[in-house]
Structure 1
Amino acid sequence: MNKKLIALALAALPAAAMADVTIYGQIRGGYEYNKTYSSNLSKDANGKPQGSSEINDWTSRLGFKGSEDLGNGLKAIWQVESAISVDGTNPTGFGTRDTFIGLAGDGWGQIRLGRLSNYPNMDMEQVDPGYYSGQSVGGLGMFTRLDTRVNNSIRYDSPNWYGFSYMALWGVDEARTPVAGSRSNNQLINIGLSYENSGYFGKYSFLSKADSNLVGGIKDWHRLEAGYNANNIYVAFGFQQVRGQLGISAGGLTDAGGLYYNDNAATANWTQLAAQNPGLASGSLQQARTREIALTGGYTFGAFTPYLSYAKGYNLNVSNYGDVANTGYDQWVLGLDYALSKRTDVYTSYGHVSWKLPGAQNENSFGLGLIHRF
């Protein structure tokens, strides 16, 4: 369509119809050299990672949002946000990110329904400030692997009281898939608590799934983050514990819901791992637990902000057995952000993961790219 015709059509719309609509987004992407299990490229005959050059998207997005004043301090709110990709592998569908409709009121917060982020995905992740693709280890993607969006959900967010706030999210299970002849209910409940004041912050999230013992995957998940972000100083500490069911067999570890750190690395030498852990049963789903810590520090001087992150996954713990030796990991990430302007950054990082699993190779990633916000 002719650009002049488009401009005339927009000008003809009533001002009130356009005044409450905001268009926003971020374009983020770069070059990565990855040697990782999660990369789509370059595996040898045994499934071990080989180095590969990739042009990857770093979670770009485009969104539309708005509100309408209903009077008496009440507003109708809405948002449609979609993932886009600068590398040509565009996600299908519209509204693939947080998309909702809801109400907000003076003094009581807001309530929304739709496709909504859990608390760690939207309100935490201070330990992971970098930019990277999901298939690299240029950020703490394993520590934040469960941060996601929940379909068919309702979320309430409280107002802020002297730095304190909280949220509650309920994700319904519409399928109620029968298991062993009984109708299951794998609904999700997520509670988040926050305190922020004078640069200091502390955040806690608890998530639980019903009937996880029937359908596998995550049973419950705790995440704690705390730190300081002011006066050019950035420090964040995180701890999380995840419990659920894990398949243990001669082929490795089978994970239905993200309990274990990295499924691809879990196909390590099982014979050797079993020999190091005598008495560890295999062949069925078993109750298991993972624990991790993460620490990130950064300092801004001028336009430069370097970051150093460390994450550690402790040995997997299996009920009726205990800690499974050589099932943890150590990760380091060094990142540098250079602000070209208030809206455009250059970002580079190097990440390294050392696996304790026998036969699992170390993973590495280098990234260099651009971020623009609008």
Structure 2
Amino acid sequence: MNKKFIALAIAAAIAPAAFAADEVVLYGQVNVALVADNSKDSNFGIDNQGSRLGVKGTESLGNGMNAWFQIESGVAPDDASKAGFATREGWVGLKSSEFGGIQLGRGKSAYTKAYEEFDPWYQDDSFGINGFDQLGYTGNAALVPDRGDGGYKYRTDNTARYTYSMPGLDVMVDYSVGENKNKIAGQKEATNLSYYVKGTIADWWYIVGANMARNANFRDTNGDGKGDTWAPGAKLNNVLLGGGTSFGDLAIGAGFQRHVYSETGYGTNKRNSVLVNAMYNLEGNSLYGGIIMADKLKYGSVKMADSRYIRYGLGLAVPMSKRTNIVTEYMATDYSGTQKDKSYFSVGAYHSF
């Protein structure tokens, strides 16, 4: 065997390892809490709270241009069967300080990132995950879009993203395709357009977000609250406007969302939601709370009875070190109709590395 070839192969194998030591970062969170949840069969449990393990890296290409990647996997310390590789984020892209960045892959949509600006919660059942969802309406679960495929796209697959940042302004635009054309005769391709703009004016910050989904699986036919069937001509539009400021140790924020969903043979439903939250630095600890108020779901020209809800919560995060917090949180949702009210209390340890 050619010894020179062997030497080159060994050098090639060593080079990525040397690069990895300089440019690749391993990061993650291990978050586990004791939970009391009245919406489950068992009220008490030990639950994972968004634990994750990721790796990311960059390479300078010169002239202010960098290549980068990120792979982030969900891990479940309480139940390993619920974990999966690259289930959270998976991206590769190019970025320039002058022209912005372009990336391809999968992850939280731009719209998700917009409303998570209003979410200080640690727990899995938080404002960021459930607060701006179009929560189900008793007797009409099959008609009301819910998290997963309706309400918004929390994470999007097959996504191209453009980002741009300058002092006082951040912009993010996503376009995702469902790759499902021709799975059903006459079915159109599912698409999702999502954007996020964050800026500052004096001491205030503002957020503008929008999500526009077309021809996705919005219809719930099995009663699990998630879309599972292609909805002909489905159109889902969400708009989010909000902002906030700080006064010493007190930070406040407020947001408004407009939701409009239509489908061939079904019609149109609409709902408005308002969120107000606050966070206070209490001698190094974070005390935070918020409330979301959603008005009645309007189907056509009629506001549906018993479809209003209020969601509220309170939390306290006590730092034990720079990377470890002990967090206590309470979240509840009150419905105006016959649907069972929900409450969720948790005490947990949250460690970042």
TM over 0.5: yes
Residue 86 of structure 1 and its aligned partner are, at CA, apart by 1.9
Secondary structure, aligned partner of 2:282: coil
> Percent identity among equivalent residues?
24
Decide whether aligned partners of structure 1 residues 366 and 235 sit closer, same or farther in structure 2, where only a CA change above 3 A counts.
Answer: same
1:112 match: 103
Residue 124 of structure 1 and its aligned partner are, at CA, apart by 3.6
Is 1:57 aligned to 2:57, yes or no? no
1:337 match: 317
What residue identity is the alignment partner of 2:164? S
| Contact 2:119–2:127, Cα closer than 8 Å, also in 1 | no
| Contact 2:315–2:329, Cα closer than 8 Å, also in 1 | yes
Secondary structure, aligned partner of 2:116: coil
| Contact 2:270–2:298, Cα closer than 8 Å, also in 1 | yes
Give distance in 1, aligned partners of 2:108 and 2:73. Answer: 13
Q: 2:165 aligns with which of 159, 177, 182?
A: 159
Is 1:130 aligned to 2:108, yes or no? no
| Contact 1:126–1:225, Cα closer than 8 Å, also in 2 | no
Give distance in 2, aligned partners of 1:60 and 1:14. Answer: 27
Give distance in 2, aligned partners of 1:94 and 1:293. Answer: 35
Decide whether aligned partners of structure 1 residues 13 and 291 sit closer, same or farther in structure 2, where only a CA change above 3 A counts.
Answer: closer
Give distance in 1, aligned partners of 2:156 and 2:164. Answer: 19
Give distance in 2, aligned partners of 1:152 and 1:307. Answer: 36
Give distance in 2, aligned partners of 1:166 and 1:69. Answer: 23
Give distance in 2, aligned partners of 1:18 and 1:230. Answer: 42
What residue identity is the alignment partner of 1:293? V
Task: Compare 302-311 and 96-105 and name the one that shifted more.
Answer: 302-311
Gaps of 5+ in 1: 1-9, 43-51, 248-283
Residue 322 of structure 1 and its aligned partner are, at CA, apart by 2.2
What pairs up with 1:200-279 in 2 under 5 angstroms? 200-211=204-215, 214-215=231-232, 219-229=236-246, 231-245=248-262
Give distance in 2, aligned partners of 1:336 and 1:208. Answer: 35
What residue identity is the alignment partner of 2:37? N
| Contact 2:157–2:178, Cα closer than 8 Å, also in 1 | no
1:304 match: 285
1:191 match: 195
Decide whether aligned partners of structure 1 residues 138 and 102 sit closer, same or farther in structure 2, where only a CA change above 3 A counts.
Answer: closer
| Contact 2:104–2:160, Cα closer than 8 Å, also in 1 | yes
CA deviations over 1:200-222 (Å, ceiling 9, x no partner): 31111111123469536652111
CA deviations over 1:266-302 (Å, ceiling 9, x no partner): xxxxxxxxxxxxxxxxxx6331112111111121022
| Contact 2:57–2:70, Cα closer than 8 Å, also in 1 | yes
Aligned residue pair count: 311
| Contact 1:238–1:295, Cα closer than 8 Å, also in 2 | yes
Q: 1:353 aligns with which of 318, 323, 333?
A: 333
TM-score by length of 1: 0.76
CA deviations over 1:317-369 (Å, ceiling 9, x no partner): 011x3211221101221111111111111111122221112x22221111111
Decide whether aligned partners of structure 1 residues 229 and 99 sit closer, same or farther in structure 2, where only a CA change above 3 A counts.
Answer: farther
Residue 90 of structure 1 and its aligned partner are, at CA, apart by 4.0
CA deviations over 1:75-113 (Å, ceiling 9, x no partner): 111010001112114434311111110001121111110
Q: CA RMSD in A?
A: 2.6
Secondary structure, aligned partner of 2:82: coil
| Contact 2:114–2:208, Cα closer than 8 Å, also in 1 | no
TM-score by length of 2: 0.80
